Amino acid sequence: MSIQILPQIALEEQSQSHIVRSIPLLFYPMPNVLYTHRQERLKELSKDSPFGDYLLFCAEIVKEQLALLKQDPIKVDLSNILNANSHTAPLALANYPLSKKWQEYLQKILAALPKMTPEIAHLINTLKQNSSETLQEKAELLLNGKFNQVESNESLFIWAALSLYYTQLASQLKGKAYAENSEEDWFCPVCNSLPVASTIQIGNNVGLRYLHCSLCESEWYMPRVKCTNCDDLQHIHYFSLDEERAPTEAECCDSCHSYLKIFNQELAPRLDVMADDIATLMLDMKTEEENFSKSGLNPYLFAQKMD
């Protein structure tokens, strides 16, 4: 199936009451709103979490992303890639080569971050000594999904800078891009990266499920009760740590033995996919004990992806 990812263009869904409603297929990010909320949410979750210190460290990174967004925003003309009428993700490396702008963001993030532990201070110093060519190579390895070829702690900072760059690009596409919704629709239709997790939304899209991109922060529609890794519809079950109707569940597929978290905004309206994914790390541990492996990527948890 080939689809246009224009937000204005919608699929039609026949609901049980035979009322047809429109489904927006894609939401581009709003970086300012996103980073502001994420920073607040990380701090909120840190108060009552065994991972509190780490959540606060992540909040510091997001604070820098937000500051750079205001101080040094990018504005680029994306009409070339849009006019190319490509049916692949417009911001995928093959369509839109990576400039070195992201490296300026990386250096500024590294300079501004508090050295919360000696390990972080050492890591920041090591990264600062990388040549521009080395950094570009590492970034391209990560963008090509070769996560185990870059040291996981370095990946976190590199991805934070890359994400700030790509999120701005995605926010400037303004609903004019095209992408193919092929059999691999678990990859972001805008930048071709893996999702962090999925959310069941509220508001105008109540009850609909969207995957959230780990790089450009776009969100794309995915029907519920369907494996986001192999499209299986038959062998899906849900696992949570606590009560029935938990706001966070692991959607597990017995066909490909993968899982991805699904967050329900109806039960946790203030959630942020990235922050809540870190705060619910216990659920990952329990799900992995059952021999399921995570199909998504949280850039703040690269070490988990490496294992």
> Quick check: 259 and 295 in contact, CB under 8 A?
yes
Q: Can you name the residues that pair with 262 across neighbouring β-strands?
A: 198, 249
- Residue 173 interacting with Zn ion (CB under 5 A): no
- Residue 301 interacting with Zn ion (CB under 5 A): no
- Residue 191 interacting with Zn ion (CB under 5 A): yes
Contact region for Zn ion (CB under 5 A) — 97-105, 107-115, 211-219, 275-283?
Answer: 211-219
> Quick check: 26 and 208 in contact, CB under 8 A?
no
- Residue 36 interacting with Zn ion (CB under 5 A): no
Contact region for Zn ion (CB under 5 A) — 102-110, 179-187, 231-239, 269-277?
Answer: 231-239
Residue choice 25, 109, 213, 278 for contact with Zn ion (CB under 5 A): 213
Report in angstroms how near the CB of residue 91 gets to Zn ion at its nearest: 7
- Residue 188 interacting with Zn ion (CB under 5 A): yes
Closest CB to Zn ion among 107 and 172? 172
- Residue 61 interacting with Zn ion (CB under 5 A): no
- Residue 60 interacting with Zn ion (CB under 5 A): no
Contact region for Zn ion (CB under 5 A) — 110-118, 122-130, 182-190, 271-279?
Answer: 182-190
Residue choice 3, 58, 150, 190 for contact with Zn ion (CB under 5 A): 190
Contact region for Zn ion (CB under 5 A) — 46-54, 65-73, 93-101, 250-258?
Answer: 250-258
Contact region for Zn ion (CB under 5 A) — 56-64, 181-189, 204-212, 271-279?
Answer: 181-189
Binding-site string for Zn ion from residue 255 to residue 284, where x marks contact by CB under 5 A and - marks none? xx----------------------------
Q: In angstroms, rounded to a whole number, what is the distance separating the alpha carbons of residues 155 and 177?
A: 28
Closest CB to Zn ion among 152 and 255? 255
Closest CB to Zn ion among 128 and 174? 174
Residue choice 65, 103, 229, 240 for contact with Zn ion (CB under 5 A): 229
Write out the chain in H/E/C secondary structure: CCEECCCCCEEEEECCCCCEEEEECEECCCHHHHHHHHHHHHHHHHCCCCCHHHHHHHHHHHHHHHHHHHHCCCCCCCHHHHHCCCCCCCCCCCCCCCCCHHHHHHHHHHHHCCCCCHHHHHHHHHHHCCCHHHHHHHHHHHHCCCHHHCCHHHHHHHHHHHHHHHHHHHHCCCCCCEECCCCCCCCCCCCCCCEEEEEECCHHHCCCEEEEECCCCCEEECCCCCCCCCCCCCCEEEECCCCCCCCEEEEEECCCCEEEEEEECCCCCCCCHHHHHHHCHHHHHHHHHCCCEECCCCHHHHHHHHC
Report in angstroms how near the CB of residue 78 gets to Zn ion at its nearest: 14
Any idea which residue has 């926010």 for tokens? 171
Q: If binding means CB under 5 A, how many residues of this protein chain bind Zn ion?
A: 15
The pair of three-digit structure tokens given for residue 20, joined into one six-digit string: 């047809």
Any idea which residue has 């992806």 for tokens? 305
Residue choice 208, 216, 271, 279 for contact with Zn ion (CB under 5 A): 216
Contact region for Zn ion (CB under 5 A) — 39-47, 58-66, 213-221, 278-286?
Answer: 213-221
Under the rule (CB under 5 A), what is the footprint of Zn ion? Answer: 188, 190-191, 193, 213, 215-216, 218, 227, 229-230, 232, 253, 255-256
